[in-house]
Amino acid sequence: DRLPELLRRMPKAELHVHIEGTLEPELILALARRNQVDVGYDSVEALRQAYNFTDLQSFLDIYYAGACVLREARDFEDMARAYLERAAADNVVHAEIFFDPQTHTARGVSMEKVITGLHRACERARDEQGVNATLILCFLRHLSEEEAFETLEQALPFRDKFIGIGLDSSEVGHPPEKFARLFARCRELGLHLVAHAGEEGPPAYVWTALNLLRVERIDHGVQSAKDPMLMQRLAQDQIPLTVCPLSNLKLKVFPDLAAHNIGRLLGAGLCVTVNSDDPAYFGGYMNDNFVQTFAATGLGARQAYQLALNSFNASFVSERVKRNYG
Ligand code: HPA
Ligand code: ZN
């Protein structure tokens, strides 16, 4: 069977990866030592054993704890470099990378250290791996609108180093409309807009992300399948969904990969993409997501080609560059 080989070798874009979610246990421990931070775990095995999640929140608690080892610009650079090398090995040629500045500024790490460290790794990846990497600043939705606006102010001196903004963290109870004014401001600033919606939350959150936040893509969005009118809207406007199958599996959004609705979303004509979300925590990078999902759901070469094409169409690279990929 040559399908896994096709999946691994095809060029692809990754549009939904949280850089803090690429911190492997080995790097967490190395940075803990370098920065003399106590993470509460003394071995790779102990850390990995803590990675048995029951839902989004149980993951987020550990994900935020792991990020505490990041103190200096070079820590952010080392983390992003490790991800970009790993992504290049999976034939990812374009990556739009989420980062969560509030997780760091709340601990006294400056916005400048966070962004310049990550940006340096992106520049180096272009030169050394031929990977085109850009950054998307995510706001934590469990925090207030006011804190989000403060974070935006802190980031604006580095406006040229990120292309857009997103919304992540605990979804249920923090609907998109909480950030309508923030997104309106970011829209005026010419930033691209995306938001997590319909991962654990209801289709109503996908509707408000589209209609009130006016996002260009929905991150996850798998709960949209519960609402036929929403499915129609997503298909009609070709709103991309950045789906993360192994994440959905580990956070128990679906009981197993065979039950994942990616085939149904694709079949309904939606612009679906495959992504890794937090690969160090969910047990797989891009090609693991592709190979395992195809094996479990019975998708074939036609869908492989469609997903790769969708990943470039859904990306924020210029139309001129897109024509070259197509
Ligand atoms: N959902 C919400 N917030 C996140 C995620 C996710 O899958 N990963 C990292 N932060
Ligand atoms: Zn995510």
What is the domain range of residue 299? 3-325
Element (H, E) at 295: helix 286-297
pLDDT number for residue 325: 64
Choose, from 85, 199, 216, 319, the residue flagged as catalytic.
199
Q: Residue 220, annotated ligand binder?
A: no
Give the model confidence (pLDDT) of 67-105 as tens digits: 999 999 999 999 999 999 999 999 999 999 999 999 999
The residue whose C-alpha atom lies closest to atom 10 belonging to ligand 1 is 169
Residue 200: how many other CB atoms lie within 10 Å = 19
Residue entry with tokens 């139309």: 319
Residue 302: how many other CB atoms lie within 10 Å = 9
For residues 273 and 292, give the distance between their C-alpha atoms in angstroms, rounded to a whole number.
Answer: 15
Cβ contacts of residue 122 below 8 Å, gap of 6+? Answer: 80, 84, 97, 133, 134, 135
- pLDDT of 326 over the 60 cut: no
Q: What is the DSSP letter of 163?
A: -
Backbone angles phi, psi at 194, to 5 degrees: -140, 165
Give the model confidence (pLDDT) of 200-218 as tens digits: 999 999 999 999 999 999 9
- pLDDT of 20 over the 70 cut: yes
Residue 172: how many other CB atoms lie within 10 Å = 13
**Average pLDDT of the chain?**
97
Cβ atoms of 211 and 218 closer than 8 Å? no
Average pLDDT over residues 250-278: 98
How many domains are contained in the chain? 1
Average pLDDT over residues 41-46: 94
Task: Report pTM.
Answer: 0.98
- pLDDT of 323 over the 80 cut: no
Atom number, ligand 1, closest to the C-alpha of residue 100: 10
- pLDDT of 324 over the 80 cut: no
- 319: pLDDT confidence band, cut at 50, 70 and 90? confident
For residue 253, what is the domain's CATH number? Answer: 3.20.20.140
Give me the residues paired with residue 96 across strands: 134
Give the model confidence (pLDDT) of 280-293 as tens digits: 999 999 999 999 99
- pLDDT of 320 over the 90 cut: no
Give me the residues paired with residue 274 across strands: 243
Calculate how far, in angstroms, residue 2's C-alpha sits from the geometric centre of ligand 2.
30
Q: What is the token pair recorded at 175? A: 């609907």
Calculate how far, in angstroms, residue 196's C-alpha sits from the geometric centre of ligand 2.
7
Average pLDDT over residues 143-154: 98
- Here the ipTM equals 0.97
Q: Residue 260, annotated ligand binder?
A: no
Residue 194 Cα to chain centre, angstroms: 10
